Amino acid sequence: MTRSIRTYAQVEKETRSGILEQVLEQRDRLARRMAGIGCIVAVVSGKGGVGKSAVTANLATALARRGARVGALDADLNGPSLGRMLGAGNARLRDGDDGVTPPTGAAGVRVISMDMLQAGADAPLRWRGPEGDSFLWRGAAEAGVLREFLSDVVWGELDALLIDVPPGTDRIGRLLELVRPHIALLVTTPAEMARVVVARSARLLLDAGLDRIGIVANMTAFLAPDGTSHSLYSTDGARALADQTGLPIWAEIPLDPRLAELTDDGTPITLADPTSATARVFAALADRLGIEPRPNTRP
């Protein structure tokens, strides 16, 4: 026997539980929030450990240095780091009638991250729910938090909202169900296994019909203190990914110890040393995105 299950869209009258009304109201609120954002940039990979968060933090501040109003959303709920990277890890959130006001981090970037909601820096994320049934509701709970980060945060008028997407193509798919990014940046490294994994994410984005997708090659070569560059890999995963997918490489970021050190301390290298070779790569990537400051359209 085939069961016929109605979707929310097929329910046309009020429900006793009020769940439908909550879903529809939040959907409308999400649309209103996103209407104030000029460009949504998804920083994705599918692979962990390739430096997505560091890329997001440094690109956000590079855009802010150009005069853009920038927000950064840390979608990695289980391993949040973007708040600290932007110098706002210890900030307290303010909840008002219109929603949660995001703290302002480095270069004036508005940022929201799960680490601002946890009791301590080493506190693990634990989801509340019925014991033994976590496999039924955990995905929905994570999707709900991401939706709230987008719709219940008072982002205001932004020229760009950067979304740091955690590993896994399912997380990318979850984001695409909520918003459609204007730009997607695929972060990879020279490692062959990174290419294999990131290629799956590239396929997902291409199948979704996104108009602007660029590859960001991270850790391309070790940048020594004396300014010399040294290759660390026998493979060039980014170039191979570009050849495989036909997507362009928009930036090649060296493995710079100062990039990690400064970003971990909450002052991205794009602010701490904007004339450095590494910071200039991010500045060029910011230019490549073509995001220009817009006039305010709301009071």
Q: What is the mean pLDDT of residues 218-227?
A: 88
DSSP per position, the chain: -------GGG--S--SS-HHHHHHHHHHHHHHHHHTBS-EEEEE-SSTTS-HHHHHHHHHHHHHHTT--EEEEE--SSS--HHHHTT-TTPPPEEETTEEEPPB-GGG-EEE-GGGSSSSTTPPP-----TT-HHHHHHHHHHHHHHHHHHSB---SBSEEEEEPPSSHHHHHHHHHH---SEEEEEE-S-HHHHHHHHHHHHHHHHTT-SEEEEEEEEEEEE-TTS-EE---S--HHHHHHHHH-PPEEEEEEE-HHHHHHHHTT--HHHH-TTSHHHHHHHHHHHHHT---------
109-145 per-position pLDDT tens digit: 999 998 888 776 766 776 666 676 666 667 777 888 8
Q: What is the mean pLDDT of residues 269-274?
A: 96
Q: What is the mean pLDDT of residues 19-46?
A: 87
Question: How high is the mean pLDDT of the chain?
Answer: 88
Q: What is the mean pLDDT of residues 142-160?
A: 92
- The reported pLDDT for the residue numbered 7 is 46
Q: How confident is the model at residue 24 (pLDDT cuts 50, 70, 90)?
A: confident
| Higher-scoring residue by pLDDT: 198, 231 | 198
- The reported pLDDT for the residue numbered 244 is 97
Q: Is the entire prediction scored with pTM above 0.85?
A: yes
Q: Percent of the chain beyond pLDDT 70? A: 85
- The reported pLDDT for the residue numbered 102 is 94
Domains in the chain, CATH or no CATH each = 39-121+129-289 (3.40.50.300)
Q: What is the mean pLDDT of residues 60-88?
A: 95
